[in-house]
Amino acid sequence: MRPMAPLTITGGRLLTGQKSGDKREPAAGAIRCDGDRIVAVGDVTPQDGDRVIDARGKIVMPGIIDLGVFEIDKPAFHFGGITRAALMPDQPPPLDYPARVRFAASFGKPDLWVHPIAAATRGLEGGELPELGLMREAGAKAVSSGRKWIADSGVMLRVLQYTAMLGLPFITHAEDAGLAADAVATDGETATRLGLASAPAEAEALAVARDIALAELAGAHIHIRQVTTAAALDLVRAAKDRGAKVTCGVTPAHFMLSDIAVNGYLTFARLSPPLRAEADRQAVRRALADGTIDVIASGHDPRGPEDKRLPFADAAPGMAGAETLLPLTLGLVRDDVIDMARVADLLCANPAAILGVPAGQLAAGLEADIAVIDPDRPWIVDSDRMAAQAGNTPFDRQPMQGRAVALFKGGMELKT
């Protein structure tokens, strides 16, 4: 293969993803890459033979790292400015053997980084532990219970002890299974009026409280993939204040929508965890502002008509979120909830730190994973024309603002 000419991106404003210092907010500058690495950032001049990209009027930021997707869907990821995806273990079959993890890690080549997340128990059934050490060697960057919650506290503690020993984060789905059971909605007026099986929002707080307590006992890093209620966010906030190794995330649906979005039995709004009350949605937005929430992820889970064109209670949970992840996060900037530096933290730097991968920032020596974004470009979501494998989005027909206009993985330009 003929080697790529060096790449220089000029004229844009650099959002470096740096965690401190004077490079937090976008500032004018250029970036130069040679081979698959960034070699210079800031006051950079193109050299003879460089591929030169003019990013005038655009923001140049690290490629987005999507922490916790359920399907590898390259066209949707590239549209959304995503260069790395952490794949949840809920696959057919689950990622509970080293060979499956190794295959998943290679699945995105050459135009997407896939970081597999190993299943915490065999078949994600909450009982027998798999070969976690061998799965780490095969490429697993974290361990997870997937869409399920491990109800047996003894099993959960043993898994956390192993992940602490291996230096891997544990990614948990926080819903107490005894309370959530077969619920498809959150207790409240909407669920009652629609006659939907529902569970109290406290199911999340109870699960979060137990999981944090066990993680502290084991000395493990626990990442709660979605925290969607005020009570659970208070628990995370308190745990962080006392120095616990706790991080958490959320998807845009839970800071954009409340449970009234399921009116009309809209199955595209059938999610797990379910949409919450308006007070909880506002609590999520406050937690994004104050730093309690570390990650915004798409939860990308494309589902076709066979899974979604069903009665609400029978429909599969999940949404196609990769394409709307960036514009909905940018919407928080326009609403003065967060600034652009926090966008880079939430989408790039923090996911990279949790997974332990050398990415998420624009810095010399790191992989040349770069997104050029136009934060003001308008477009309209059309579930029938999405790049994703299926268009199951609760944001169908809604106007968006902002999208990636160029994307590079290891210096190689990808189609957006």
pLDDT in tens, 204-260: 999 999 999 999 999 999 999 999 999 999 999 999 999 999 999 999 999 999 999
Q: Which two tokens stand for residue 137?
A: 């060697």
Q: What is the pLDDT of residue 152?
A: 97
Residues 6+ positions from 348 with CB-CB distance below 8 Å:
17, 61, 62, 63, 64, 65, 359, 360, 361
Asked whether residue 12 carries a pLDDT value surpassing 60, the answer given is yes
Q: Which two tokens stand for residue 363?
A: 């810095």
* Residues forming a β-bridge with 42: 30
Q: Where are the beta strands (DSSP E) in 90-221?
A: 113-119, 142-144, 170-172, 185-186, 198-199
Spatial contact of 415 and 375, defined as CB atoms under 8 Å apart: no
Residues in the chain: 416
Asked whether residue 360 carries a pLDDT value surpassing 70, the answer given is yes
Quick check: helix, strand or coil at residue 414? strand
Peptide bond into 93 cis (omega under 30): yes
Angle at 404 between CA 82 and CA 105, to 5 degrees: 15
Cα within 13 Å of Cα(351), Cβ side: 30
Supply the mean pLDDT for the chain: 96
Domains of the chain by start residue, with CATH: 64-355 (3.20.20.140)
Q: What is the pLDDT of residue 65?
A: 98
89-to-132, 356, 410 alpha-carbon distances in Å? 13, 18, 26
Instruction: Bin 33: left if φ > 0, else alpha if -120 < ψ < 50, else beta.
Output: beta
Q: What is the pLDDT of residue 1?
A: 47
Taking the C-alpha atoms of residue 123 and residue 145, their distance in angstroms, rounded to an integer, is 10
Of the candidate ranges 1-10, 176-185, 348-357, 395-404, the one whose mean pLDDT is the lowest: 1-10
Taking the C-alpha atoms of residue 97 and residue 13, their distance in angstroms, rounded to an integer, is 44
Write the pLDDT tens digit of every residue in 67-106: 999 999 999 999 999 999 999 999 999 999 999 999 999 9
111 pLDDT band, cuts 50/70/90, is very high
2 pLDDT band, cuts 50/70/90, is low
Give the residue with greater pLDDT, 27 vs 331: 331
Residues 6+ positions from 30 with CB-CB distance below 8 Å:
8, 9, 10, 11, 12, 14, 41, 42, 43, 44, 45, 46
Longest dimension (CA), the chain: 68
Taking the C-alpha atoms of residue 277 and residue 258, their distance in angstroms, rounded to an integer, is 5
24 pLDDT band, cuts 50/70/90, is confident
First to last CA, the chain: 23
DSSP state for residue 367 in the 8-state scheme: B
Q: Mean pLDDT across the stretch 353-382?
A: 96
